[in-house]
Structure 1
Amino acid sequence: MTVYPVVATDTVSADALTTDAAAASPAVAADAGGVSVSAFDGSRVRVVLMLDIHDGKQQEFLNAYDGICDRVAAVQGHVSDQLCQAVDNPTKWLLTSEWESAEPFLAWVNSEDHLDTVEPLQDYVRDTHSLRYSVLRETSGERSASVAAGEPLNAAARIGNNVVRHALTFTVRSGSEDEVTRLLAGYAAPDARVDESGRLLRTSVFLHGNRVVRAVEVQGDLQHALRHVARQPAVRAVEEALNPYLEQERDLRDPRDARRFFTRAAMPAVHHASSVDTDGAGFRRVALLYPARPGAGPELARLLARQDAAALHTPGNPVRSATVFHRDDLVMRLVDVEGDPERAPAFVLGLHGSADAAGGSQAAGVAVAERLLDTAAAGVDGLLTEERILVQLLARARMTLVTDRRSPAP
């Protein structure tokens, strides 16, 4: 398989201050016969940002940081920051921050407010690399007292398969969908090998109305993979060919404009569940774009995550893996299904099993979904407990597959 271009300039993937797709990599918990990955486990998050500052610009960078730190501290869910400078190399800096959980961090790092906040730093930063961790243990300081008093930490280490998932979305001008589909389906794919430990595993591109979603799976470091893809001449050519059809104009030759575009396009993977250790080969890949009511996107994403976790090993469930992507009120779910999706619409839609906040019945979970979904806007009229209505919603929410490509085994 090959991977469709996800960025078109090195500065987008290199600058984690603004487009840190690696933040989409949530916690991985061991599960019998599979894995469950979620940004909704409530763990505190430690963000580690390594910066390379332009020669001689250290004081200017520090002054700019001092000018924005109060604004960052006021962000909901932010706990603390610590800025460090290397003892032996003045250009190497380290910024660590702590967040109450992954949810507020992801909401902020992919927001317009984040773009505006970090803008004063951009002129002084040559390169960045960031990592995201959930806090498992603490052994000293005030936080230990709070943990001892009952503040939860994860009890077990996470087990994963070194695969990071991420998605990008954008809209195209009405009437251009056929030409956009042709461009997206006919690109010259980049080399799947990123470096000694990284590979581009799979890209799935979908269209729903005039909205495009590209979901990528990468083995290893996502930022390195994005840089690798961005350097490919064929990738740049396709991105340039898409520009006339986009509703939001962009100039990928301008690093700041490119950062803004790809930050707005980011849809982090907030939950992934798989009942088998598989790359999805042999299963049917289905993408669903849910008609969320205004303001209901975050709660809907959490609902679908609970649904998938509850139904993971339920007898009769044909869904072998499911990933929820979310930003604002955009909620997309990517599932690998064994057999015909229409034969099990409740499972495929993520509307089966215990799903309400208290872990109640299927009916309670569906009732929550009916409150969060604007089914009338999607042309669906009826109760989601009825099979025929679920089939209708499946048809309305299902995205058109443009291309789905895997890399060959190395």
Structure 2
Amino acid sequence: MTTTSAPASKPPTHQVSSRVSQSVFDGSRLRVVLLVDVHDGAQQQFLEAYEQLCNQVASVPGHVSDQLCQSIENPSQWLITSEWESAPPFLAWVNSEEHVQMVEPLHSCVRDTRSLRFHVVRETGGPAEATPSKRRLQASPRIGDGVIRHALTFTVKPGSEAAVARILADYASPEPRVDDTTRLCRTSLFMHGNRVVRTIEVRGDLLAALRHVARQPEVRAVEEAINPHLEQNRDLDDPESARVFFTRAALPAVHHVTAQQEDPRAERHALYYPARPRCGMRLAELLARQDEAAAGSPYSPVLRSTIFQRDDVVVRLIDVLGGLDAADPALALGLPDTGPAAELTTLLDDVGTNAGADTPLTRLLGLVRMEFVTDRRSPEA
């Protein structure tokens, strides 16, 4: 059963690090913008579906308000904006099975959608000016590197792991150029048991890049080859089946920090932290706090870290100087202090209780370490 992770209990009060290029954990209010292209003649059907949806969304924890707007130039173009208390409750809802079912009536009347999410950094006018203590605006702008990070995850039938790993490792890389403004930078694949995680780094438009990759013959052949091994059935020739599969497979990046410039000696690794029910967001926030604090330490071998989270699946992608085997397991796990290490084991499902009492962090690192499948970088990246 899919569960919805509980939102973070307290927003951090510290200053945002200049090294952090992405995070959902600063407590700022969130503005979500959804661009919708409605089929000709389906405007009334879309409006009725939206009215039903907005009544349901109003009861979701963390939701503040929303607006539906129709273009004055093209009646087929609509805009839905919503405000949330912070990013974690929105992500917990939008990545839930409840959301997948809730928005299903909309898909029969829309051609295309695009979702954009923004933290509120500054604002003028309105009642918020009179109550600055409640505004919770982002303290300072984040420093980005122009790269969008995303991941997909799915499970395969037990016993098929070796066959799936061979299929995913042995294919020609797709053309990295998507269009004049979008490039594929890097794709890394890892497995943990029967779970597959594919991370993607893109400059430009993520949605355009994902569509570009899906159209490539070599990628399509790989997707067809692994179809018989998937635990969740899909039909890539059926747009609705493909949409539902990739919606459920989405594993968004919730935090990224770059500590140092890239180093050719660094190795890419992935760690899988399965959370206890409804603890995924708390676990991701714990790891994010530790990675942000460690970014300024000259002793940390982790040059960059990206945390992906959906429901109770948390994956941490790290570039480690000198490799994972040579690193201090506490630093590699992102837990230099005993307090966070103890908290981590209370949030982990099964894995934490299986860690040995004598060398828990060494044991834990072995349990959460993912199997490397492939890491492909664009020559232009």
Q: TM-score, normalised by structure 2?
A: 0.91
Q: Give me the whole-angstrom Cα distance separating, in 1, the residues matched to 2:53 and 2:274.
A: 36
8 Å Cα contact 1:194/1:228 also seen in 2? yes
Q: Give me the whole-angstrom Cα distance separating, in 2, the residues matched to 1:151 and 1:206.
A: 40
Kindly provide the amino acid, as one letter, of the partner of residue 256 in structure 2: H
Q: CA deviation at 1:373?
A: 2.6
Q: Give me the whole-angstrom Cα distance separating, in 1, the residues matched to 2:371 and 2:27.
A: 34
Partner of 1:156: 140
8 Å Cα contact 1:111/1:263 also seen in 2? no
Partner of 1:392: 363
Partner of 2:108: helix, strand, or coil? helix
Once the two structures are superposed, the pairs formed by residues 396-407 of structure 1 within 5 Å of their partners are 396-407=367-378
8 Å Cα contact 1:84/1:95 also seen in 2? yes
Q: CA deviation at 1:378?
A: 6.7
Partner of 1:287: 270
- For structure 2, list consecutive stretches of 5 or more residues without a partner in the other structure: 1-14
1:192 aligns with 2:176: yes
Q: Give me the whole-angstrom Cα distance separating, in 1, the residues matched to 2:133 and 2:150.
A: 36
Partner of 1:271: 255
Which deviations, in whole Å up to 9, do the C-alpha atoms of 1:255-297 show, x marking residues without a partner? 222222112111111111111243x643111111124333322
Q: Give me the whole-angstrom Cα distance separating, in 2, the residues matched to 1:262 and 1:227.
A: 11
8 Å Cα contact 1:30/1:160 also seen in 2? no
8 Å Cα contact 1:289/1:397 also seen in 2? yes
Q: CA deviation at 1:135?
A: 0.5
Partner of 1:85: 70
Q: CA deviation at 1:375?
A: 5.9
Partner of 2:74: helix, strand, or coil? coil
CA 241–340 in structure 1, closer or farther in 2 if over 3 Å, else same: closer
Partner of 1:382: 357
Give the RMSD, CA atoms, in angstroms: 1.8
8 Å Cα contact 1:375/1:381 also seen in 2? no
Once the two structures are superposed, the pairs formed by residues 356-371 of structure 1 within 5 Å of their partners are 362-371=337-346
8 Å Cα contact 2:16/2:139 also seen in 1? no
1:209 aligns with 2:209: no
Which deviations, in whole Å up to 9, do the C-alpha atoms of 1:326-364 show, x marking residues without a partner? 111111111100013233111110111xxxxxxxxx222
CA 177–53 in structure 1, closer or farther in 2 if over 3 Å, else same: same
8 Å Cα contact 2:352/2:364 also seen in 1? no
Which deviations, in whole Å up to 9, do the C-alpha atoms of 1:78-131 show, x marking residues without a partner? 111111111121111111111111111111112111111111111110112221
Partner of 1:396: helix, strand, or coil? helix
Q: Give me the whole-angstrom Cα distance separating, in 1, the residues matched to 2:264 and 2:181.
A: 22
Kindly provide the amino acid, as one letter, of the partner of residue 376 in structure 2: R
Once the two structures are superposed, the pairs formed by residues 1-12 of structure 1 within 5 Å of their partners are none
Q: Give me the whole-angstrom Cα distance separating, in 2, the residues matched to 1:162 and 1:135.
A: 19
Partner of 1:15: none
Partner of 2:234: 250
CA 372–193 in structure 1, closer or farther in 2 if over 3 Å, else same: same
**Equivalent of residue 33 in structure 2, options 22, 26, 48:** 48
8 Å Cα contact 1:273/1:323 also seen in 2? yes
Partner of 2:103: helix, strand, or coil? helix
Q: CA deviation at 1:374?
A: 4.3
Partner of 2:9: none
8 Å Cα contact 1:200/1:407 also seen in 2? yes
Q: Give me the whole-angstrom Cα distance separating, in 2, the residues matched to 1:72 and 1:374.
A: 30
Q: Give me the whole-angstrom Cα distance separating, in 2, the residues matched to 1:375 and 1:340.
A: 26
The number of equivalent residue pairs is: 366
1:106 aligns with 2:91: yes
Q: CA deviation at 1:149?
A: 4.1
**Equivalent of residue 100 in structure 2, options 87, 90, 115:** 115
Partner of 1:8: none
8 Å Cα contact 1:162/1:219 also seen in 2? yes
CA 214–376 in structure 1, closer or farther in 2 if over 3 Å, else same: closer
Once the two structures are superposed, the pairs formed by residues 12-161 of structure 1 within 5 Å of their partners are 31=17, 34-146=19-131, 148-161=132-145
Which deviations, in whole Å up to 9, do the C-alpha atoms of 1:304-345 show, x marking residues without a partner? 011101111213111100111111111111110001323311
Q: Give me the whole-angstrom Cα distance separating, in 2, the residues matched to 1:239 and 1:65.
A: 33
Kindly provide the amino acid, as one letter, of the partner of residue 153 in structure 2: T
Partner of 1:239: helix, strand, or coil? helix
8 Å Cα contact 1:378/1:396 also seen in 2? no
Q: CA deviation at 1:234?
A: 2.1
Q: TM-score, normalised by structure 1?
A: 0.85
Q: Give me the whole-angstrom Cα distance separating, in 1, the residues matched to 2:276 and 2:304.
A: 26
| Greater displacement, 123-132 / 176-185 | 123-132
Q: Give me the whole-angstrom Cα distance separating, in 2, the residues matched to 1:170 and 1:48.
A: 27
CA 138–281 in structure 1, closer or farther in 2 if over 3 Å, else same: same
Partner of 1:10: none
Which deviations, in whole Å up to 9, do the C-alpha atoms of 1:134-164 show, x marking residues without a partner? 1011111223333x24432113222211111
Partner of 1:3: none
Partner of 1:180: 164
Q: CA deviation at 1:69?
A: 1.2
- Identity, in percent, stands at 58
8 Å Cα contact 2:21/2:142 also seen in 1? no
Q: CA deviation at 1:36?
A: 4.2
Partner of 1:357: none
Which deviations, in whole Å up to 9, do the C-alpha atoms of 1:26-70 show, x marking residues without a partner? xxx9745x3342111111111111111111211221122112210
Partner of 2:298: 315
Q: Give me the whole-angstrom Cα distance separating, in 2, the residues matched to 1:396 and 1:363.
A: 19
